[in-house]
Structure formats: structure tokens, C-alpha cells
Amino acid sequence: MLDRPSLTNRVLEIAGEILAEQSRSRAIGVDDALREAGLTSMAMVRLMMATEIAFNIAIPNEDLHPDNFRTVRAVASLVARLVEAQDASPFGG
């Protein structure tokens, strides 16, 4: 598993790539509101899907809450929690 800073940096890269696809090249920080940075609802869905692929996780429906996608730090916390749970599972890892 990636350490927390590396995980956060990867989520930051993914969000930056999605913003660039929308022709929004504004630099974002880990605590910047992603909606205010320009991520639309569809871009948020793409962020969720790209995050699932990048970290080989599935985000459960109960975690599909706006608070979990408000900032890069929030997404990284969600990912860390899901990866840790997956690694602890006898079927994960």
C-alpha cells in the first residue's frame, strides 16, 4: 500500500488530470474545494471511477457522499480507509 503522502499525491494527480481534461489548468491544493476548482458533477463521477481504478478499490454506495469528494484530502482519506479495510479482509489484499 502507498503511504499516506504518496496516496494523497496520486489523488491530487488524478484530480489535476480531470481538471485539465475540462480545460481548467488551475493548480489545486489538497484542501481546495474541488467543486470551486471547476469539477462538475460528471467530472466528480470520473474522479470516483479513476480513483477506484488507480487504487483497485470499489467505493461502496454508502460512501458516495459529497463530503467524501469535497477535497483531495477527503478523497485520500476515503481511499486510505477502503484500502486498509480491503487489506485487512481475508478476501482482499
Q: How many domains does the chain have?
A: 1
Q: What CATH number is attached to the domain comprising 76?
A: 1.10.1200.10
12 vs 5, 42, 50, 74, 93, CA distance in Å? 10, 18, 12, 11, 24
This prediction's pTM: 0.88
Taking a C-beta distance cutoff of 8 angstroms, is the pair 47, 6 a contact? no
85 vs 8, 44, 50, 62, 77, CA distance in Å? 17, 23, 19, 15, 12
Looking at the chain, how many residues does it have?
93
User: Is 93 inside a domain boundary?
Assistant: no
| Sign, CA torsion 35/12/55/78 | negative
Domain residue limits at 46:
4-88
Q: What is the pLDDT of residues 8-47, one digit of tens each?
A: 999 999 999 999 888 766 789 999 999 999 899 999 999 9
